[in-house]
Structure 1
Amino acid sequence: MQYWYKIHRWISLLCVVFFLLLCITGLPLLFKMEIHDYNMVQENMQHASLNYSSVWQHVEDGENTILTNYPNKVVKAISVQPDDGRILYRIQDKDSKKIVDARLSMGGEQVAYYPDDNTLQNWHREVVKSPFVAKFMHIMHLLHMYMGLGKGGMVFLGFMCLLSFVSVVSGIFIYEPFMKKTRFAEISHTSSAAGWFGWHKFLGIATAAWAALLCFSGVMIVVFSLGYGSYISNVKAAASQNMSPQINAEHVSLPEAISFINQQFNKKYILSIDMPDKRLNRSRYVFYLTPAQDRPTEFMGQLVFVGADGQGSMQYYTEPLPAYLSFAAASLDLHIHNHDTITLKIIWAVLDIITIVVIVTGFVGWWKRSANVKRNNSNGYFPVEALPAKSIWQIPVLVFVLSVAGMVFPLYGTNGELVGAVMLFAAIIICLWYWYKRK
């Protein structure tokens, strides 16, 4: 137990500032879509939703509309957001040689095309009610993802997520020895430090499963980001070696390439396309595909290179995604795609605030504790006899199960979101009830 206690204490002290940073910056980011929509000046932002199967049927119309309105630009990459009814085109000046990539959201100027009313919206020139709010949300995103330090900051925060995960898990291991004579949700008043630690143990075990999954999925986000970048580089190199130089997109129109991909990969959705560009030595279409399902993984795409020879014979080259990337992407969904409804966001906000309290109470309790403070149980506040393990773990295990279910079920559609909200809400209510009962 002393071994786990030392791990918990010293690792927690190492990552306390960064864990707190992630919790604080994550709080406003929970409501980023609601804040963004509220802060927008443009009217008529609601457009008819589409699906991945039909949205690409409008891509040529969108391209023609953009080239009409931006005659000095060329389309370099295309991606879609069917739920919002839009197709996103990355465009740049005809004489520009900067690299543009759809999946990495890199380079160029982005314009949204709405097929339902044939309108355009410049994605980088949105008119907002409050520039301060927009800037604040952007800063929160940079701090949460990169600590404002680019890819190096992302890797560092990923390491801090790993330490935070170890901190949470080690806290679970030492929970039982520290609760031998304390009922669940009881707060000691024998000393100031004991009071702070009482709240730390109670709220910490109540949010342990939720916090552990978020920390672990945070690590997987970094693994996915680094691994996916490596996968893209490897497949591009392999495509240049395995596809004949005569196989290019010179004789293939965009609709033809899309139709070919849909025939060859009828169980996958097209996420985005990088257009051919001879100036960048890119002579083929680059498609990014994901398995067809109700909620496709938007961040992960299998690369497929498409071109044709001089006689118009279509060919493609691809390599499947490594298994570890699929696992990392599934973990990423636990961090991002399982709290889409406002009810779930509010519940997550409550859990986030509680986790902040856990971090603060643990640090303050450690700061206030002195070597000569001894536990005094003579006032009868705690049971004299040690509690059995079953009594110690009965409620925490129930809260764990509800928390994990509340994070997993929302990944399975609307009904799953409702079940997940009920599960997480039930976990919070159980903790509140026992705290009220112990008072």
Structure 2
Amino acid sequence: MLSSRAIRVWSWFHKWTSLVCTLFMLLLCLTGLPLIFHHEIGHLLGDEIEAPVLPAAMDAQRVSLDVMAKAANAVHPTRVIQYAGENEDDPRLWWFTLAPTPAPTEDFKSVAVDARTGLVVREYRVGEGFMDLMLRLHVDMFAGLPGKLFLGFMGLLLLIALVSGVVLYAPFMRKLDFGAVRKDRSTRVKWLDLHNLVGIVTLVWCFVVGATGMINTWADLLVKYWQYTEVSTLLAPYQGQPLLQARDRGPLQASLDTAMHHGQQRKVSFIAFPGTAFSSPHHNTIFLKGTTPLTSRLLQPLLV
């Protein structure tokens, strides 16, 4: 049983953490809703890229990854390919991200290539359109890493508000049935009962969304930690070696075949090219994923 002093302390935490994070949680809800239906909205707006219709006999054929990369690079010959990957919804398409340098940048282009013919289908609309606006507002509010960390802090306040709300729920509702809304009382009491009902019913969902969203804001920091701990250890034998020029690298398809051989029972998620944030200056890093609902979300990086 909480004392009156403890109830006041928990009430203070619940009130102020809720008030501070409410506006930003509303922003995330409003921007996150259209992102859930991004495929449907993309089709409606004509932004979705679909593979061309070819004879059924050609659907199973695949050209070399080097052919696809060359076709993508020909669209923007002054840029370098940073990343490439199979389209999650249509394996007949591969996407290639091109930027001025391998270093992380917001200046990038994305090209879709038909894996059956090696021909460019279309460029993705990068940095424009309604869905990109929603995505940027949802991820970092156009503020980069500081914006992500700020939203992560708002997520932490949401978790504190949820925990404090649970602590206060029993003292406030101990004389009422679960879900009771006292309609015969004042407007303030009715709103309080509705607040308690909605809060306790959506508790688990809100906690999962808040916790995972907060962790997602740490992505850039976790990548840097991975580079500092795991990748730096693997690159110790390469210290002092000159960097290979793009023309001196081995075939990209051979790198993928090697990775697929070592990562049996897995599919390719994406490829990070040398010098990018998810690779090293000396390797193609192939990220593989499993084939089950759980393992498809767990990536295994292989440096080749």
Preserved contact between residue 235 and residue 303 of structure 1 (Cα < 8 Å): no
Q: 1:199 aligns to what?
A: 194
Cα gap change, 1:275 to 1:157, in 2 (>3 Å): closer
Q: How does 1:335-374 map to 2 (within 5 A)?
A: none
Displacement of 1:231 after TM fit?
A: 1.1
Q: How does 1:5-404 map to 2 (within 5 A)?
A: 5-40=11-46, 58-66=64-72, 75-85=81-91, 86-91=93-98, 96=100, 98-99=101-102, 107-116=107-116, 118-125=118-125, 135-188=129-182, 189-243=184-238, 245=241, 250=248, 252-276=250-274, 284-295=282-293, 301-306=299-304
In 2: Cα distance, 1:115 partner to 1:265 partner = 21
Structure 2: give runs of 5+ residues left out of the alignment: 55-59
Give the AA of the match of 2:261.
Q
Structure 1: give runs of 5+ residues left out of the alignment: 49-53, 307-439
SS of 1:260's partner is helix
Cα gap change, 1:60 to 1:18, in 2 (>3 Å): same
Preserved contact between residue 259 and residue 286 of structure 2 (Cα < 8 Å): no
Displacement of 1:21 after TM fit?
A: 2.0
| CA shift digits 1:99-140 (9 cap, x unpaired) | 256xxx8654221112245542333358xxxx9xx6333222
Preserved contact between residue 49 and residue 124 of structure 2 (Cα < 8 Å): no
In 2: Cα distance, 1:247 partner to 1:259 partner = 23
SS of 1:90's partner is strand
Displacement of 1:36 after TM fit?
A: 1.1
Scaled by the length of structure 2, what TM-score is found? 0.77
Displacement of 1:55 after TM fit?
A: 9.6
SS of 1:290's partner is strand
**How many pairs were matched up?**
284
Which is higher, the Rg of structure 1 or of structure 2? 1
Q: How does 1:425-436 map to 2 (within 5 A)?
A: none
| CA shift digits 1:193-242 (9 cap, x unpaired) | 11111211111111111111111111111234421232135444434422
Preserved contact between residue 290 and residue 296 of structure 1 (Cα < 8 Å): no
Cα gap change, 1:269 to 1:229, in 2 (>3 Å): farther
Give the AA of the match of 2:132.
H
Identity of counterpart residues, as a percentage?
Answer: 23
In 1: Cα distance, 2:123 partner to 2:37 partner = 20
Q: 1:346 aligns to what?
A: none
In 1: Cα distance, 2:234 partner to 2:47 partner = 45
Give the AA of the match of 1:40.
G
Give the AA of the match of 1:136.
F
Give the AA of the match of 1:180.
R
Q: 1:373 aligns to what?
A: none
Give the AA of the match of 1:84.
D
Displacement of 1:59 after TM fit?
A: 1.7
Q: How does 1:398-417 map to 2 (within 5 A)?
A: none
Cα gap change, 1:220 to 1:73, in 2 (>3 Å): closer
In 2: Cα distance, 1:79 partner to 1:36 partner = 20
| CA shift digits 1:366-406 (9 cap, x unpaired) | xxxxxxxxxxxxxxxxxxxxxxxxxxxxxxxxxxxxxxxxx
| CA shift digits 1:336-370 (9 cap, x unpaired) | xxxxxxxxxxxxxxxxxxxxxxxxxxxxxxxxxxx
In 1: Cα distance, 2:187 partner to 2:166 partner = 23
SS of 2:110's partner is strand
Give the AA of the match of 2:193.
G
Cα gap change, 1:46 to 1:186, in 2 (>3 Å): farther
